[in-house]
Amino acid sequence: MNENISSSAPRSHPLAGKVMSGAEMVVQVLADEGVDTIFGYSGGAILPTYDAVFRHNQSDPEQPMPLIVPANEQGAGFMAAGYARASGKVGVCMVTSGPGATNTVTPVRDCLADSVPIVVICGQVPTAAIGTDAFQEAPVAAIMGSVAKHVFLVTKPEQLETTVRTAFELARTGRPGPVVIDLPKDVQNWEGPFAGQGTLDLEGYRHRLHAVAENRLSGEACQRFYRMLAQSERPLIYAGGGVINADASEALRAFAHEFQIPVCTTLMGIGCYDTTEPLSLHMLGMHGTAYANYAVQDSDFLIAVGARFDDRVAGDPERFAPRARNIAHFDVDVSEIGKVKNVSWHHVGMLQQDLEDLLDYGRRVDFSADFSQWHDEIAHLKDQHKLNYDRDSDKIQPYAVIEEINRITQGQAIIATGVGQHQMWAAQYFDFKEPREWLTSGSMGTMGFGLPAAIGAQFARPGRMVIDIDGDASMRMNIGELETATTYGLPIKVVVLNNFGDGMVRQWQKLFFQGRMAASDKSLHRKDFIKTAEADGFEYAVRLDRKEDLARVVEEFIAFDGPAFLEVIIDPDAGVYPMVGPGQSYDHMITGDFIVGRQEVDDETPDASEMF
């Protein structure tokens, strides 16, 4: 939902008219777009462009674009995604043809699902060889067409420069997403004059962007919104990742503070509102806080901002927010309006602009409302139904590990995660004071995301502490990137919460499959994570397996100057609670043994087609 709808390339370029190879043009456009880091793995079909990057860095050491080499191309894609999520800029991934390109399919799909702007440049066999099953050929356009925001196959060298520039425009504007450039080797070797400006003709796309940008809230629309707010006694803001993508967090906070409206967020929206604020309800949904979900049940006016009512939030759309007399929906994408849940009021536009306009209108008409009773109810919900766990257990509880890290970092670390139980514990128990401090694979739920995303984030924000919270199963997926972290001297902190298996899968198997642990128990696997980390260059690599050592070891781990690895042997039976089963309403929320729920829950077993 980025507000910038024009290319950042300059109108008059000092190198205009200079004869360059196609590869040199690609690199020059990257430089013009402000790219300062490229993540990728080399190979025959992309060698001309890799060589051009090398020569650029030799000739312009003041503004280099270092090539960060991962263990594999999937890692490169997730590094670019982590860079983009942490910085708000377009991440860049550059790989070779064939398997190099196909290894980026998962990161590309992940970025499309979570609206993350990256540009993936794939080498391709020469134009004349396309379609002949040449060595390391893959039909990139066909493969990526359904998982990317857009794919370009460059067959006309004269359009290369404008294509690359247009790819950045597409990636960052509107609803951000991944754009793929399939670049044949002969196009990279072609020579021609560099124009220094220009983009492809995207008249329809730009017209739609312009229409959204110009679709300002009318006085009549504002009046209807505030009429609904005036009729409300329990308004609630439901904020999603679109708020962060639109750089609208400050506008959202200003609006919420002005009228004292409580805020809950989706998994992707974490950080758009300071979780330490009294009116923050943290995360709602399948594994959201009990008090957030109860607040959704109680709310009489739900204000959805940059959120899409996905199945992890509204598993049963008909019974989602059942007492809401009105629902308002702000989004940049018209296709999200009414897709899952019918709403009373909606606006399609630029979120930052719209929230500012709405606030200005409220101030002009001197709108006021007293929601103090609702605030008291919120405070009671947060106290009565707070997160909790077995604090007396002699086993290390994962929640306690995260609480201790959070105590030290005070909600100011950048947290990346893999996918599974550890992801949900991190979402629940960490505080986030600012946006772009929470990096996780939301819609795709890709295991192995955390470590490479953390590496990308550390390059994007080198002065910040970056912590990867991972699980033993998720860590295995991209464990090769441990060496990448030490190779580049990145002071990343890596935590592996080891419960010897696929914890989330086992939790579901316990709840819905009569405890049959089909292929999810890794207790017999022989991986020694400490030896692995040491072999990959981690000078600090420690296993924590005694509860009484927790505070001391965590403090040492965080204080270590450089890459640090901590494996924590946690209670294998620790679960993620609350939990709302797939396809179920919040009436069926399971709060476990240590979180107080409102009533006994009828544990309906979801239909097999609804699992996960």
**Catalytic residue IDs:** 73, 135-136, 185, 504
Token duo for residue 35: 């790219």
Helix (H) or strand (E) holding 67: strand 67-68
Contact of 440 with 416, CB cutoff 8 Å = yes
463: helix, strand or coil = coil
Asked if 189 contacts 44 with a C-beta cutoff of 8 angstroms, the reply is no
| Nearest C-alpha neighbor of 39 from the set 3, 72, 15 | 72
Alpha-carbon dihedral sign for residues 442, 444, 445, 447: negative
Q: Which residues contact 143 (CB under 8 A, 6 or more apart)?
A: 101, 102, 105
- Residue 498 in 3-state DSSP? strand
Both tokens assigned to 259: 């009228």
- Rounded to whole angstroms, the Cα distance separating 343 from 238 reads 13
- Indicate the burial class of 487 (C-beta count within 10 angstroms; 0-12, 13-18, 19 or more): middle
Place of tokens 């404008």: 162
- Residue 383: CB partners within 8 Å, gap ≥ 6? none
DSSP state of 346: E
* Total length of the chain: 612
| 396 secondary structure, DSSP code | P
Q: Which residues contact 275 (CB under 8 A, 6 or more apart)?
A: 282, 411, 430, 431, 432, 433
Give strand pairing partners of 39.
68, 93
Distance (Å, whole) CA 465 – CA 457? 10
Backbone dihedral angles phi then psi of residue 490, each to the nearest 5 degrees: -85, 130
Using DSSP bridges, classify how beta strands 191-193 and 19-21 pair: parallel, antiparallel or unpaired.
antiparallel
**Cα(94)–Cα(42) distance, integer angstroms:** 8
Q: How many CA atoms within 13 Å lie on the side-chain side of 130?
A: 20
In the DSSP assignment, the letter for residue 588 is: G
Q: How far apart are CA 536 and CA 168, in angstroms?
A: 35
The amino acid at residue 58 is Q
HSE-CB at 6 with a 13 A cutoff on CA atoms is 6
Composition of the chain by helix, strand, coil, percent to 5:
40, 15, 45
Tokens of 462: 């080198």
